Homo-oligomer: A and B are copies of this chain.
Amino acid sequence: MGKVLIIGAGGVGTVVAHKVAQNPDVFTEIMIASRTKSKCDAVVKAIGNPNIKTAQVDADNVDELVALFNSFKPEIVINVALPYQDLTIMEACLKTGVNYLDTANYEPKDVAHFEYSWQWAYKQRFEEAGLTAILGCGFDPGVSGVYTAYAAKHHFDEIQYLDIVDCNAGNHHKAFATNFNPEINIREITQNGRYYENGQWVTTKPLEIHKDLTYPNIGPRDSYLLYHEELESLVKNFPTIKRARFWMTFGQEYLTHLRVIQNIGMARIDEVDYNGVKIVPLQFLKAVLPNPQDLGENYEGETSIGCRIRGLKDGKERTYYVYNNCSHQAAYKETGMQGVSYTTGVPAMIGAMMFLKGIWKKPGVWNVEEFDPDPFMEQLNKQGLPWHEVIDGDLEL
């Protein structure tokens, strides 16, 4: 049905490339581009499909992107580069008439600041260009929004309480490692917590609120209230929501490492002068830590991510829990990447598929919950992220 360009050849990009290649009826031509072309070539070699093209591109550079888009002429670009690069890629899409999809909202490099406003500001320009931009189409954000839209469509007249719960019960057998880009990981966790209640945002200290939640096939895990970007769009798109929160599990040892990383100044995102070279400590730390892409081989256990929702149906209170469990080893066997990359990359591919099939195609800038969830939910079951639901169970929340 159409040509796709994947930007980014990290863990998520590798998964997207594998899944796109598994669906040749939809993705008729594929290119992978990143700053380092050899990484793209390695992905193509791992997939074993010589028809996949590769290219070098600096995603910070609009002109380079425009030149690449004009030469390959994709219908849609799947942006799985760094979130710093969302805006340059969106600019290039507008200049060249290419549709857009990403998995994480734009944030500037020098402040930890997760919000959609920068990208929502492109709405009118994408509308006028007749182009579709789909924001935040990974797992969370992404599937978390689709789950919520699906719940709203089929199980509730009014969603009142939404809790997104994200558990990684995997073990990578390293003293310390982050599961995706450690720079993003640490920035996300060290910021203040934030949740939505009765029309207002409530701010907490970092990791101030936590409780044991029980995850299917895993058991109880200490879960911490974080701010996560999809809360911003979900409370806007589902205005009956009284309270929306996001929870993520962390082990004590992981948190101890994070606390020390902050105490010693290695989580800083401003530049320090080191013998005349300007270096951001967190970026240097990233160069020293294990590469998240290399964790797959010995990664055991599962992730479990879902939405726990309370609200009204036919005048009665209802609870609904919809979730996916993903095995790190199964993900690794299929794509060479662990479950955290897998759960982000598969939905990105499905989102692009929805666009190319014409189901999620409307000019403008959109979050995933603004589209019909049903065909996406159907593909989740087919593409490796099957979901399960529990109606009127105990949400613990």
Interface residues of A (CB under 8 A from B): 175-176, 256-257, 260-266, 268, 272-274, 277, 279, 281, 284-285, 287-289
Contacts and interface: CB of A to CB of B under 8 A. Distances in A.
| Closest CB pairs A-B (n = 4) | A175-B263, A260-B260, A265-B288, A176-B263
Given A256-B256, A284-B284, A288-B268, A274 B279 contact: yes
Nearest to A265: B288
A140 to B, nearest CB: 26
A272 B287 contact: yes
Copies per assembly: 2
A274 B264 CA distance: 19
Nearest to A264: B176
A257 B263 contact: yes
A256 B252 CA distance: 13
Contact of A285 (B262, B266, B273, B289): B266
A51 to B, nearest CB: 34
Residue among A268, A285, A289 with max Cβ neighbours from chain B (10 Å): A285
Contacts of A289: 264-265
B264 A288 contact: yes
Contacts of A266: 264, 266, 285, 288
A256 B260 contact: yes
Question: Chain B CB within 10 Å — which of A260, A268, A281 has the most?
Answer: A260
Contacts of A256: 256, 260
A60 to B, nearest CB: 14
A272 B288 contact: yes
Contacts of A176: 260, 263-264
Contacts of A268: 288
Contacts of A285: 264, 266
